[in-house]
Amino acid sequence: MQANSMDGIELIQHVYALFGRGDIPSLVAMFDPRIEWRQAEGNPVEPSGTAWIGPDEITEKLFKPIGASWDGFAITPHRFHEAGDTVVVEGRYTGVFKATGRRMDAQLCHVWTLRGDKIAAFQQYVDTAQLQWVTATGLAATP
């Protein structure tokens, strides 16, 4: 199915399918050149929640480190909600952080903003305390 023939939910479901197959080049091709990508505030990869702009910055700061740092990292979407040019996804992250051997199973919410058949913005919401515990190299209390 061509991306331009998809409704918002189908387009975002396609994004998760591409990520699940590890087809990052095809996924990134769905991004608007000026996409704004925000991780949840307090996320270890970008604690400030500052936006990454453009496909290249997102690939370097997110997709490459995920592959290098995690075993079996997966995003499992459970529910999709569409409102105009916005798609909200509820789901879970799972995986094992290589440096610590700690497992993650964290609830997530993703908010995608579409511009035509391209993804214009992304906002992540996740239990950042769990992410910090999983990625911490020292001893820490379980979440």
Q: How buried is 78 (Cβ within 10 angstroms: 0-12 exposed, 13-18 middle, 19+ buried)?
A: exposed
Banded pLDDT at 136 (limits 50, 70, 90): low
Residue 51 belongs to some domain of the structure: yes
Residue 85 belongs to some domain of the structure: yes
Residue 28 structural domain: 3-135
The whole-number average pLDDT for the span 70-80 is 95
Per-residue pLDDT tens digits for 76-95 = 999 999 999 999 999 999 99
- Of the given ranges (36-50, 55-69, 113-127), which has the lowest mean pLDDT? 36-50
Query: Which candidate, 132, 47, 119, places its Cα nearest to that of 86?
Result: 119
Query: Which candidate, 116, 129, 120, places its Cα nearest to that of 43?
Result: 129
Residue 140 belongs to some domain of the structure: no
Amino acid at 94: T
pLDDT at 28 over 90: yes
CATH code (residue 59)? 3.10.450.50
Mean pLDDT, the chain, integer: 88
Other CB atoms within 10 A of residue 31 CB: 20
In the chain, the number of structural domains is 1
Query: What pTM was computed for the model?
Result: 0.87
